Structure 1
């Protein structure tokens, strides 16, 4: 599949780091499975992965976390 950002790169399965910021909280999640463009590095997450990331973010916000760094657990 071609990258929708750069229009020339091809997507390959890999792992990436996702950073979310909002509502006074910064969450960094390392080693997240994604499809990554071999040209520009843009990454694409599946709906399932996105849902899990948003759940992790909401849990961190409810704990009162200001900054949290997590490693993806498969």
Structure 2
């Protein structure tokens, strides 16, 4: 079964939950847009909105900004 990308507004904190399977872009990959998949372990952005996406730490420890949710 293939993973399906769900387009969410990743700039809104209310759309991001711990345990959500997401694609993030890490800081070193911002120019290329290379995405990393994982499960949200911790939400790092405190504000309710961020123009570049909510910053999270995946369960693997990788930090980046959410771009898509995956189902």
Task: Calculate the TM-score normalised by the size of structure 2.
Answer: 0.30
More helix as a share of residues: 1
User: Between Structure 1 and Structure 2, whose CA radius of gyration is higher?
Assistant: 1
- The one of the two structures with greater contact order (alpha-carbon pairs below 8 A, sep at least 6) is 2
Q: So what's the TM-score if we normalise by structure 1?
A: 0.30
